[in-house]
A and B are shown apart, each in its own frame.
Chain A
Amino acid sequence: MSTNIVLCGVGGQGTVLASKLVASASMSKGLNVMSAETIGMAQKGGSVFSHLRIGDDVYSPMIARGEADLIIGFEPSETVRMLPFLKKGGAVITSDRPVMPVTAALGGSTYNGGEMISYLKSLDTVGRLVVVDTDKAIEDIGSPKAMNMVLLGAASRAGLLGDITHEDIIEAMKKKVKPRFVEMNIRALEYADI
């Protein structure tokens, strides 16, 4: 059995670090882990994703449609874009803060993040949905870089990372993050209302 997680967002949002923390926590527990990352041209403002697979009997780093237990979305439209990967009844944790593509600004149209959240709420195939008010979270925590930890903490505290517990994530974070940022990251990991 394996736990399959899709992390997605826009290039530069920190999906890779979040994916590495879960991987590191898995390694400490002696679990096998594989992941696939977007690196290269698409990183420059394009849609990016990480596929993360924890457990045995995993051959490919990639996840197929309907196979993900959890989607962690750093941007609402990117969360929706990845929905086909979610298995029926799977969980979604998403930021509500839209990142506007340059094309939208040029066209004069503003895509609407709220519309994406309403759509997610309307789906009965999503077993559990957690929407994080990112602007508020960033303000409360006091760092614009905290979003990935808020989302990851929401996932671990809700028990959505398979065999990986919230404590495992905190331990992994302590190993990967500079000491002076640990306290802020713990606050971020424990921020969201689950």
Chain B
Amino acid sequence: MHREFLMGNEAIALGAMAAGVNLVAGYPGTPSTEVLETIAKKNDGSIYVEWSVNEKAGLEVAAGASYSGARTMVTMKQVGLNVASDPLMSLAYIGIKGGMVIMVADDPGPISSQTEQDTRTFAMFSKLPVFDPSSPSEAYRMIGDAFRYSEEYGTPVIFRPTTRICHAYASIDIKDEDEYEYNRPEGFVKDPSKWVIFPKLSRINHAKIEKRNSELSGVFSQYEMNSITEGSSDLGIACSGISYSNTMETVSALEDKPSILKIATAFPFPEDLALKFLAGKKEVLCIEELDPVIERALIQVCGKYHIDCKIRGKLTADAGTAGELLRDDVNGCISKFTGISINEGTSTELNDAPELPVRPPVLCAGCPHRASFYAVKKAMKGKETIFAGDIGCYTLGNAMPLDMVDTCLCMGAGVNIAQGVGRIKPDTKCFAFVGDSTFFASAITGVINAVYNQADMTLIVLDNSTTAMTGHQPHPGTGKTMMGNMTEKIDIEKVLRGVGVSEVRRLDPLDLDNAVRTVREVADKPGVKAILFESPCAMLFKPEKPYEVDTDKCIDCRMCIKEIGCPGLVIRNGKVSVDTTLCNGCGLCSQVCPVDAIGKKEDIS
């Protein structure tokens, strides 16, 4: 054992390695991404690691390996599980051989997500056991438990941390490599009565699953991560995950302490443990983020056993229903519940503070997406348009002054939404913007749908040669794998031509005039056509020399700022100037300036 300062996601990765994981697949998504990246980085080559094309592919690859006796993990964010839900639901019936952990990171807030869905609810729906760690160090130990339960019960299990666990750091005791478990998979053994899903098998397995879950409810009542901390009053608090840690912070400062029920496995719910906790309690407050999962389970237990205890939480408006439950939210809930004033009057109030600037996230200085959006905007000025966006950095194209994202729904949706809008008003110029990684993950079927159904639309692929938003992961178009191998790049143009898009142009969006001209030309053609704007993410290369504003030439029209809104352009002492610490020399602003006042130092002098 030795001690390291680790991010929660690193702890999960190292815990999985210590448990003898043989194969890890996944798709990047905040806050889950660093788990797979850490394993790839620490891998000596004995573990197979891949970024799959999407979460469904990843889960299926892991399932096949697990059928073959390998210990596997598949990583994703919560909305990724929606993509993987088809194999997930069926795999729950089929089961596995080698331990299989589905690591799904939830994002209360949401901080970087489309939804506040609760994977514990998904676990219940799919009838799979779920593990919910309350700290990075607990996550390290619990991921090993997840593998053990999975293998012992022959079922995939879900491991569900939240952002504040994934992206928290802690000093953690971890195993040395010689303490790791080692699993040698025997390979796939044919057995159609086990691995081929048919209605009869599903009916038989359904009954087995219900029986197993009922048994697991008892087993989990003994599981050390589910626990009761006895207090000194007849009040109780039930909590899970980061809410448990936040609750302990509050309760440890109280003199008269409520009892605490910590639930690490919301499903199958540890009923015996809950019964023990509820005995003699007058009221119980449930503190949990996202869905009231524990709260509902406790209400059910009270109903089933006729227990006279009032269960409070989200359903009684005693805890917030949306967003995170931060330390102060938890303080507030417990203060109201116990009638004890907590932490009041200790902080500095911002009563007479000057107005604070709003800082919405923006496309980086020098981001080529800014140029792509601006070119389309200029080309389509005055026309009836729809700009369907998608998931990635380029969702930020919605911000003023670009204002170029009219819709954003989920991965790959934009290309189909553009078609739907066009069906209702055919004279609308329909555009769908999609990034390269999203294109491979889930937009190709949408393009085929458009070609097959003879839609009239323009697909704009924003190809920056990486999965930028989640921290620059490789994808099928980059020619690199997570095993460090080079592989043939999958060419987006060839894919498009292969599925029947005959009009495909590829160009550099930073050549503004050409980009605008091409967009006009292409958008006027009938049918499905595509433009590939190719320019690498500004974070991927050393910045070029920053541009400067020639104050003698500048007429202070501020066109540059009003048109493209680059964070590298600032107003200093009432004049437009370039923030040289941010500018990476993309040159878009110099092409927008009507009087050629912006350029590289040598150009303007």
Contacts and interface: CB of A to CB of B under 8 A. Distances in A.
B571 A100 contact: yes
B5 A103 contact: no
Contacts of B340: none
Given A65-B346, A84-B349, A144-B581, A103 B358 contact: yes
Nearest to A84: B347
Contacts of A24: 5
Contacts of B393: 44
A16 to B, nearest CB: 10
A40 B169 contact: no
A77 interface: yes
Given A33-B5, A61-B164, A44 B347 contact: no
B210 interface: no
B356 A61 contact: no
B242 interface: yes
B364 A34 contact: no
Contacts of B245: 59-61
B347 A65 contact: yes
A141 interface: no
Interface in B139-186: 164, 167-171
Contact of A60 (B31, B249, B348, B358): B249
Interface string A20-55: 100110110000111111111111111100000000
Interface string A100-121: 1111111010111001100100
A81 B356 contact: yes
Interface stretch (B195-203, B277-285, B442-450, B560-568): B560-568
Most B CB atoms within 10 A — which of A36, A38, A81? A36
Nearest to B345: A66
A47 B359 contact: yes
Contacts of B364: 44-45
Contacts of A80: 350, 353-354, 356
B567 A59 contact: no
Interface string A56-68: 0111111111110
Given A64-B327, A65-B343, A105-B569, A83 B168 contact: no
A34 to B, nearest CB: 5
A105 to B, nearest CB: 5
B565 A102 contact: yes
Contact of A40 (B112, B171, B343, B363): B112
A174 interface: no
Given A44-B396, A64-B343, A102-B567, A35 B348 contact: no
Interface residues of B, number: 64
| Secondary structure dominating the interface of A | mixed
Contacts of B328: 64-65
A61 B163 CA distance: 12
A157 interface: no
Contact of A66 (B343, B350, B352, B574): B343
B578 to A, nearest CB: 12
A80 B500 CA distance: 56
A87 interface: yes
Q: Which of A24, A46, A64 has the most CB of B within 10 A?
A: A64
Contacts of B581: 144
B571 A110 contact: yes
- Which residue, of B111, B245, B347, B469, has the highest number of chain A Cβ atoms within 10 A? B347
Q: Binding site of B, secondary structure by majority: helix, strand, loop or mixed?
A: loop
B112 A101 contact: no
A108 B400 CA distance: 13
A111 B357 contact: yes
B135 interface: yes
A59 B171 contact: no
B219 interface: no
A23 B5 contact: yes
Given A23-B5, A66-B346, A116 B252 contact: no
A100 B570 contact: yes
A123 interface: yes
A60 B137 CA distance: 12
Interface in A142-170: 144
A126 interface: yes
Interface in B234-250: 242, 245-246, 248-249
Contacts of B221: none
Given A39-B167, A105-B561, A106-B400, A63 B327 contact: yes
Given A27-B3, A115-B354, A61 B170 contact: yes
Interface in B312-335: 326-328, 331
B382 interface: no
A93 interface: no
A78 to B, nearest CB: 8
Contacts of B358: 101, 103
Nearest to B247: A59
A57 B251 CA distance: 12
Contacts of B498: none
B28 to A, nearest CB: 11
A88 interface: yes
Contacts of A41: 30, 111-112, 361, 396, 469
A72 interface: no
A62 B350 contact: no
Of A26, A36, A102, chain B has the most CB atoms within 10 Å of the CB of: A102
Ranked 10 nearest A-B pairs via Cβ: A66-B347, A66-B346, A64-B327, A40-B112, A61-B168, A65-B347, A40-B30, A59-B248, A60-B245, A59-B245
10 contacts: A34-B169, A38-B167, A45-B359, A47-B359, A60-B242, A62-B246, A64-B326, A66-B346, A103-B359, A105-B569
Interface of A: 10-11, 20, 23-24, 26-27, 32-47, 57-67, 77, 80-81, 83-88, 90, 100-106, 108, 110-112, 115-116, 119, 123, 125-126, 144
Interface of B: 3, 5, 7, 30-31, 111-112, 135-136, 164, 167-171, 242, 245-246, 248-249, 252, 326-328, 331, 343, 345-350, 352-364, 393, 396, 399-401, 469, 558, 561-562, 565-567, 569-572, 574, 579, 581
